[in-house]
Amino acid sequence: MIASHDLIVLGAGSAGLATAFRAAQHGARVALLEPGALGGTCVHRGCVPKKALWFAAQWAQAQQFALDVGFASEPGPLDWERFRQVRLRYVDGIDQSYARRLKDEGVQLIRQAGRFIAADTIELADGSRMQAAHIVVATGARPRTLALPGFGLGMVSDDVFTLQSLPRRLAIVGGGYVAVEFAGLLQALGSDVEVLAHERLLEGFDTELVRALQELMEAQGIRVNPQSAVQAAHREADGIRLDDAAAGSRGPYDAVLWAVGRVPNSEALGLASIGVETDEGGHVLTDARQDTKVKGVHAVGDVTARKALTPVAVAAGRRLADRLFGGQPGAQLDYENIPSVVFSKPPLGMVGLTEQAAREHYGDAVTVYRTRFTPMQWALTGAHGRSLMKLVCVGSDERVVGIHVLGPGTDEMLQGFAVALKVGVRKRDLDATVAIHPSSAEELVLMG
């Protein structure tokens, strides 16, 4: 048995690192188990390399805009391999800085997977055991695979980051965050993208803004099929073809990206043997304080059924450590009004309720303000399309319960407005705020 700790954390992704760092700062003796790279999905297969590709897509578009307004040089294609190396260097730097910080904070990093053999005991891959009064499951999730013929001919999101070259003709199956983000950025970088979703895009986002985004995607040349049902993939002489129960054979494509959701990494942890419950999808069940039904066993991040976002994982992990080791018995994450941005092209963001959800909840007490306008950088370059913004307000004092933004700059603009919504901003407070001009953000304080 290895020396016991106050806390063992399974997984060094966003959730596990945040929990371990905060617990160590409170003086806890922490062991962090991770068989893979430090930083997990977000750093190596998610937010960070995705955002790098998204920036590259913006730069590709900026080159075109520059040409449109009078710069002389022809834009060239991205050297895909060189940019992969640039990304890898950046990501390696993050990984190394986590390793240094863990050392500095006194967290014991063990480069192995663990599984429960009792509620307070973890067995490592090498057979050794360790104990702690508190164990946090932060093992994340992985791309869903489908049991359909030819699935292996396609790739999942992890594989996009190791591609040696940009696929020319690409089908993306799915209509969630991953599908919409990769569709926009890969089309902008030069792929010819077709999206095969089996329902509307981006369930959970405001219908009106999603429709507007889909129109913008289509104007960029992305073909969006929201009613498809892919049942098989075949390799043929001219490429990969997909059998779609709704439309027959589709393709050919050079590559297929399955973007059909994610499944939690919970099945290899011995959870049932100690009485920890999971839902039908395998998510670890916790209460609002991240506690499972088993004393001392907690879960945070994508392995739970909460919104699968890095800042959510980080915030929940920190609150848990504050409660367990920081003398803050009331600490827990408020899961209301979590802002979220889809890094589509252009980005789409929301905080609070959609118009539909607000009307279901508050009926006639809802007032909606919206504005549509051509962003200045698009007007100057002759690019088509308009931004769309929407404020969803409730009651006679018009408390803002939903803010929805589609257009360039959304990704940077929404954070501050999310603070305002969280502290109960009313429409008249926005009206009383002097605008910053010229900007897109000013439209949110100028709605009539």
Ligand X SMILES: Cc1cc2nc3c(=O)[nH]c(=O)nc-3n(C[C@H](O)[C@H](O)[C@H](O)COP(=O)(O)OP(=O)(O)OC[C@H]3O[C@@H](n4cnc5c(N)ncnc54)[C@H](O)[C@@H]3O)c2cc1C
Ligand Y SMILES: NC(=O)c1ccc[n+]([C@@H]2O[C@H](COP(=O)([O-])OP(=O)(O)OC[C@H]3O[C@@H](n4cnc5c(N)ncnc54)[C@H](O)[C@@H]3O)[C@@H](O)[C@H]2O)c1
Number of helices followed by number of strands (H, E) in the chain = 13, 21
Per CB under 6 A, which of residues 247..286 are in contact with ligand X? Answer: 265, 268-269
Residue 174 touching ligand Y (CB under 6 A): yes
- Contact pattern from residue 213 through residue 242 relative to ligand Y, giving x for each residue in contact according to CB under 6 A and a dash for the rest: -----------------x------------
CA pair distance 318, 21, nearest whole angstrom: 8
The alpha carbons of the chain give a radius of gyration, in whole angstroms, of 24
The residue assigned the tokens 């002389």 is: 72
Sequence-ordered strand ranges (E) for 374-416: 387-394, 399-406
385 scored as a contact of ligand X (CB under 6 A): no
Q: Which of residues 154-173 bind ligand Y (CB under 6 A)?
A: 173
Candidates 27-35, 88-96, 183-191, 278-286; binding stretch for ligand X (CB under 6 A) = 27-35
Residue with tokens 């905060």: 22
> How many amino acids of this chain bind ligand Y (CB under 6 A)?
24
| Residues 6 or more apart whose Cβ sits within 8 Å of residue 93 | none
347 binds ligand X (CB under 6 A): no
> Is residue 244 at the binding interface for ligand Y, with CB under 6 A as the rule?
no
269 is in the binding site of which of ligand X, ligand Y, none (Cβ under 5 to 8 A by kind)? ligand X
Q: Quick one: DSSP state of residue 444?
A: G
Q: Nearest approach, Cβ of 430 to ligand X (angstroms)?
A: 26
Comparing CB distances to ligand X, the nearer of 176 and 251 is 176
Nearest CA among 406, 389, 388, 397 for reference residue 362? 397
User: Quick check: 175 binds ligand X (CB under 6 A)?
Assistant: no
Residues whose CB falls within 8 Å of the CB of residue 404, separated by 6 or more in sequence, listed in order: 205, 206, 208, 209, 349, 350, 354, 355, 388, 389, 390, 391, 392
Q: CA-to-CA distance for 416 and 336, rounded, in angstroms?
A: 16
Asked if 149 contacts 302 with a C-beta cutoff of 8 angstroms, the reply is no
Q: Which of 113, 136, 185, 400 binds ligand X (CB under 6 A)?
A: 113
Of the candidate residues 23, 61, 107, 114, the single one contacting ligand X (CB under 6 A): 114
Residue of 26, 283, 298, 437 with catalytic role: 437
Least distance CB 281 / ligand X (angstroms): 15
Q: Which of 66, 146, 163, 263 binds ligand Y (CB under 6 A)?
A: 146
Here the tokens at position 169 are 């003709």
Is 437 assigned a catalytic role?
Answer: yes
Q: Which stretch binds ligand Y (CB under 6 A): 128-136, 339-347, 358-366, 380-388?
A: 339-347
Task: Assess 261 for contact with ligand Y (CB under 6 A).
Answer: yes
**Considering beta carbons, is residue 241 or 306 the nearer one to ligand X?**
306
Q: Does 14 bind ligand X (CB under 6 A)?
A: yes
> Is residue 46 involved in binding ligand X (CB under 6 A)?
yes
| Beta carbon nearer to ligand X, 5 or 115 | 115
Please name the residues in contact with 164: beta carbons below 8 A apart, sequence gap of 6 or more. 80, 81
Task: Give the DSSP H or E segment for 289.
Answer: none
Provide the angle, in degrees to the nearest 10, between the axes of the packed helices 80-105 and 14-25.
Answer: 30
Return left, alpha or beta for 139; rule: phi > 0 is left, psi -120 to 50 is alpha, else beta.
alpha
Contact call for residue 176 and ligand Y (CB under 6 A)? yes
CB atoms within 10 A of CB 14: 29
The reply on whether position 262 binds ligand Y by CB under 6 A is: yes
For ligand X, the closer CB: 98 or 343: 343
309 binds ligand Y (CB under 6 A): yes
| Among the residue ranges 27-35, 340-348, 356-364, 424-432, the one whose residues contact ligand Y (CB under 6 A) | 340-348
Residues 6+ apart with CB under 8 A from 266: 137, 139, 278, 282, 283, 284, 303
- Per DSSP (E only), the strands in 49-112 are 108-110
* Contact status: 107 vs ligand Y (CB under 6 A): no
Cβ atoms 316, 290 nearer than 8 A:
yes
Interface residues with ligand Y (CB under 6 A) are 146, 173-179, 181, 197-199, 230, 259-262, 307-309, 340-343
Interface residues with ligand X (CB under 6 A) are 10-16, 33-36, 40-42, 45-47, 50, 113-115, 138-141, 157, 178, 265, 268-269, 301-302, 308-311, 313, 343
Residues noted as catalytic: 437
